[in-house]
Amino acid sequence: MIFNQLADVESLYIHWPFCPYKCHFCPFVALANHDEYMEQYHQALKKEIILYGNYAGSKRIKTIFFGGGTPSTYPPNLLLDMFGILKDTFTLEDGCEITLEVNPGTVNLEKINAWKAAGITRLSIGVQSLNNTILSSLNRHQKAQDVFSLLESAHAHFQVLSVDLILGLPGISTQEWQELIYAAILWPIKHISVYFLTVHEDTPLYYGVARKKIILPTDDTMIATYQWTVDTLLGNGFDQYEVSNFARRGFESRHNTVYWKRLPYKGFGLGACSFDGASRFQNEKNLMRYLNTVESADTMENLAGLSVMAETLTEHQAWIEELMLGLRQKNGVSWQMIHAKLSGEKCAAFTEKVQEFIMLGHMSGNSDRFWLTPSGRAIENEIVVALL
Ligand code: SF4
């Protein structure tokens, strides 16, 4: 199976897998101690992009996201070269949202200038916590001072600064978390993502928790802290437009919205995912195999072997996914979508459950749509299970 060239792609994802270290909680395709492959990988990325451009034509692009890994370790000269290829291969629309993920400990003025010159509009900064000791115990060697310096030097140059925070890191007290949120409200940022710490199998965090060497906060503590966070951010001018995402009005992430609306996007690089509107693909996750496959390819067809995963959801699976993604967003789910998929008793039972959640205060709605309230967002998974 190969990515459908007719897919109406307006968004690109570019994966930069290199990291200065491997954080103990990290589930991503991320490589520490592989910096000697950066240049070779960059050449392969370029080739993958050019072959796609030759195959699909010059698409008009509205959003680009450099994720990782740690894209802020992309050498500035190579990154500028990458932008040359992107501009030659695609038509970048005026106002194209271009995001770069940044690890605060990996930034200097030369990079900030290069990012600005390249046309990056948005930095997504992995703050996670300001507790140097806890971060270091999780093998993330980043200092609070790195965050402050970055915010100070970057805020005049980019339209949007966003920060990622992790709720539920072991050893972070409620008071410390609250101080972080109060600090973030005063930062010159337009967007905050708050993610619950997730324990992924086969990570050092997973084994630490399994051996009871690392004690995580209880679910009740996490939910209460999340609820406090939502209330505090809403009370300070941030809009919660998705379960984990808050923005000053008008500064919502357009790229992530593409994922949540199940619109097509094309990913390039190690382990990168793509979606053509019907099927989802994931690239090879082994660096050597990725490099070998791309280097020996001359056409997009030759790159078919790059996909280690390709799945096409059934209509019913796609509907469930649409429902789940819709519930995570502020605008919720349209009744039209429900009525198109459910009829008779099934539709009546579904409607009854939604009414029950509305009575309990976990949902709200009108004749067009229904959505989760803040209390519903805290138990989103339970609600999805009940509805299905
Ligand atoms: S910096 Fe990010 S991508 Fe790299 S290891 Fe840490 S969490 Fe993973």
The CB of 168 under 6 Å from ligand 1? The reply is no
Check residue 383 and give its pLDDT: 93
The CB of 47 under 6 Å from ligand 1? The reply is no
Helix/strand/coil for 374: helix
Atom of ligand 1 nearest to the CA of 19: 4
Write the single-letter amino acid at 196. Answer: F
Cα 81 to averaged position of ligand 1 atoms, centre (Å): 24
Q: Under 8 Å CB-to-CB from 284, ≥6 apart: which residues?
A: 270, 271, 290, 293, 306, 307, 308
Distance between CA atoms of residues 239 and 230, nearest Å: 9
Kindly state the DSSP code that residue 280 receives in the 8-state scheme. Answer: E
Burial-class residue 68 by CB neighbours within 10 Å (0-12, 13-18, 19+): buried
Domain 315-387 has CATH 1.10.10: yes
What are the residue boundaries of the structural domains of the chain, listed by start?
Answer: 11-260, 315-387
Which of 185, 193, 322 is closest to 245 using CA atoms? 193
Distance between CA atoms of residues 100 and 98, nearest Å: 7
Atom of ligand 1 nearest to the CA of 68: 3
Ligand 1 atom 2 nearest Cα = 69
Kindly state the DSSP code that residue 47 receives in the 8-state scheme. Answer: H
Are the CB atoms for 11 and 186 separated by under 8 Å? no
Helix/strand/coil for 144: helix
* Mutation to probe ligand 1, out of 21, 29, 65, 70 (largest number of atoms < 8 A from CB): 70
Q: Is the peptide bond before 69 cis (omega within 30 degrees of 0)?
A: yes
E strand spans, 33-79 = 60-68
- What are the backbone dihedrals phi and psi of residue 333, each rounded to the nearest 5 degrees, phi first? -125, 140
The CB of 195 under 6 Å from ligand 1? The reply is no
Write the single-letter amino acid at 156. Answer: A
Distance between CA atoms of residues 119 and 71, nearest Å: 15
Distance between CA atoms of residues 380 and 365, nearest Å: 16
pTM of the predicted structure, to 2 decimals: 0.94
* Mutation to probe ligand 1, out of 16, 18, 21, 22 (largest number of atoms < 8 A from CB): 22
Atom of ligand 1 nearest to the CA of 126: 2
Residues 89-104 have pLDDT tens digits of 999 999 999 999 999 9
Pairing of strands 91-102, 60-68: parallel
Copy the structure tokens of residue 383. Answer: 């609600």
Other CB atoms within a 10 A radius of the CB of residue 10 amount to 19
Kindly state the DSSP code that residue 92 receives in the 8-state scheme. Answer: E
**DSSP assignment string, 223-271:** HHHHHHHHHHHHTTT-EEEETTEEESTT---HHHHHHHTT--BEEESTT
Check residue 375 and give its pLDDT: 82
The CB of 19 under 6 Å from ligand 1? The reply is yes
The CB of 69 under 6 Å from ligand 1? The reply is yes
Are the CB atoms for 253 and 98 separated by under 8 Å? no
Are the CB atoms for 94 and 101 separated by under 8 Å? no
User: What CATH number belongs to 11-260?
Assistant: 3.20.20.70
Name the stretches of the chain with pLDDT < 50: none
Q: Within a 13 Å sphere around the CA of 117, how many CA atoms are in the beta-carbon half?
A: 14
Which of 133, 199, 191, 198 is closest to 164 using CA atoms? 191
Residues 110-150 have pLDDT tens digits of 999 999 999 999 999 999 999 999 999 999 999 999 999 99
**DSSP assignment string, 173-186:** -HHHHHHHHHHHHH
Check residue 135 and give its pLDDT: 95
Which of 37, 31, 115, 136 is closest to 72 using CA atoms? 115
Distance between CA atoms of residues 116 and 99, nearest Å: 11
Residue-wise burial string across 184-209, b where 16 or more C-beta atoms lie within 10 A, e elsewhere: beebebbbbbbeebebeeebebbebe
